[in-house]
Structure 1
Amino acid sequence: MRRRLNHVPAGLLGCGVVLVAATVIGGVVKGAPGALGAAIGVVGVAVSYLLSGVVVAWADSISPQLTMPVGLATYAIKFTLLAIPLVAFGDSTWPGLHPMAFAIIAAVLGWNAGHIWWAARARIPYVQIDPS
């Protein structure tokens, strides 16, 4: 299963960079609650992507046909669990709420940038078909 998770360190690195920047910016803009909100947002994204990666890698280790249904089920469960606190705290006046939202967006971009960087440099075998 370890080889199925080779991309994870690059995504975590991208989120780590965003974590430092978002925490500093959140702290400057909204103080300690802003820094905390930004950190929660970035860590939440990293945990979410990590959880998805592990679950899909596990499903693939059992049977490649399981990757799509398990991946989609994981996606649906994660977004349902995310919707519950968003709806519950949507009217909150906590000063860390906006830094958390912006940090979530930045962390998604950071993880994806790390993943793209990894994919562009990964030694993935492929087959080239002659166009004849």
Structure 2
Amino acid sequence: MKIARGFLKPCFIVAGIATVLAAVIGGITSGATAAWAAPAGVALAALGFAGSVWAIALAEKFDLRLTLPMALITYSVKLALVLTLLTIVNSAVPNALLPFAYGIIGGAVAWLATQVVWAYKAKIPYIELDQRS
């Protein structure tokens, strides 16, 4: 799994760029509220994806069969967390809801696109090879 987690660094780099772009675009289009809400959404998406990777990698250390249940659990927790945060943002700062949601969507698209490009270029063997000296 260590080889398969190599996408984290490029994904975080792209998420950082997307965060800056979200702040600039949000600030230009919708003002100061969007300038913090949109990048917060991007950060939430990036941290959610990274948290899933780390949780699944931890489950794999115990038993490979635990990876699917852990993936489903982390997905459920992330979905509940996002819905809760959207509700909180809507009640606290209603103007920030749309930029925050756009940031989440933009962050997810940026992360997943980077991961797809990385997976396409990666040389991951389909079988485990012995480490011979």
Shorter chain as normaliser: what TM range? 0.7 to 0.9
CA distance in 1, matches of 2:43, 2:110: 12
State the identity as a percent.
31
Q: Could you tell me how far apart the structure 2 residues matched to 1:88 and 1:24 are?
A: 24
In structure 2, the partner of 1:95 is 95
Q: Is the 8 A contact 1:35 1:96 kept in 2?
A: no
Q: Give, in whole Å, the separation in 2 of the partners of 1:48 and 1:111.
A: 10
In the TM superposition, what is the alpha-carbon distance from 1:91 to its structure 2 partner? 5.3
Assess if the C-alpha contact under 8 Å between 1:27 and 1:33 holds in 2.
Answer: yes
Shift of 1:2: 4.5
Q: Following TM superposition, by how much is the alpha carbon of 1:73 offset from its aligned partner in structure 2, in angstroms?
A: 0.8
- Mapped to 1, the partners of 2:113 and 2:4 lie a distance apart of 19
Conserved 8 A contact 1:40-1:100: yes
1:79 aligned partner: 79
Q: TM (normalized to structure 2)?
A: 0.84
Match of residue 130 from structure 1: none
| Structure 1 unmatched ranges of 5 or more | 128-132
Greater per-residue helix proportion: 2
Per the alignment, residue 43 of structure 1 pairs with 43
Q: Indicate the SS of the match to 1:126.
A: coil
- The Cα shift of 1:8 comes to 0.8
Q: Which has the higher contact order (CA 8 A, sep 6+)?
A: 1
**Match in the other structure for 2:7:** 7
